[in-house]
Amino acid sequence: MMNNATDAGWTDRSVGAGQDALLLAARVLLGAIFVQSGFGKLMALGGFISGLESQGVPAAAVLGTIGALVEAFGGLAVVLGAWTRLAALLVAVFTVAATLIAHRYWDAAPEAAKMQQIQFMKNLAIIGGFLSLAASGGGRFSIDGWRMGRR
């Protein structure tokens, strides 16, 4: 049986050796839903803006357009690892705003409150993932890594 110091050393070495592959997986897994959802919003921008208006969002046309662009192209930048730190921060801010607009479980009808709370908490986890990417960068298997000469 290994002691805690040995366990930590093995874990650090194992994860460290695969760090770039793990960052690639994290980028793809976090960014994919934003690419799909963002481009979906751009293809049906009027409906998205109408939904924002119905939720009382001021300047819904402007903010909806900006939000859909950030979601789609920010998500794509995260997946590709292009300007990863900036893209991750922008998509995190978008996710905070979207969470506060769409998943206000404290205002939801009792039958919807639990599902909205789950969506709210899921988005908090996603925000945490984006903050981790903002802290770490895209890794070697990214456009950023290629541009910085990390091959």
Say which DSSP state 59 is in: T
CA distance 12 to 145: 22
Residues for the chain: how many in total? Answer: 151
> What is the per-residue pLDDT across 128-140, written as a single tens digit (0 to 9) for each?
999 999 999 999 9
pLDDT band at 5 (very low <50, low <70, confident <90, very high): low
> What is the per-residue pLDDT across 52-108, written as a single tens digit (0 to 9) for each?
999 999 999 999 999 999 999 999 999 999 999 999 999 999 999 999 999 999 999
pLDDT band at 50 (very low <50, low <70, confident <90, very high): very high
Instruction: Provide the pLDDT for residue 8.
Output: 67
Q: Assess whether pLDDT exceeds 80 at residue 17.
A: no
Domain boundaries, the chain: 19-147
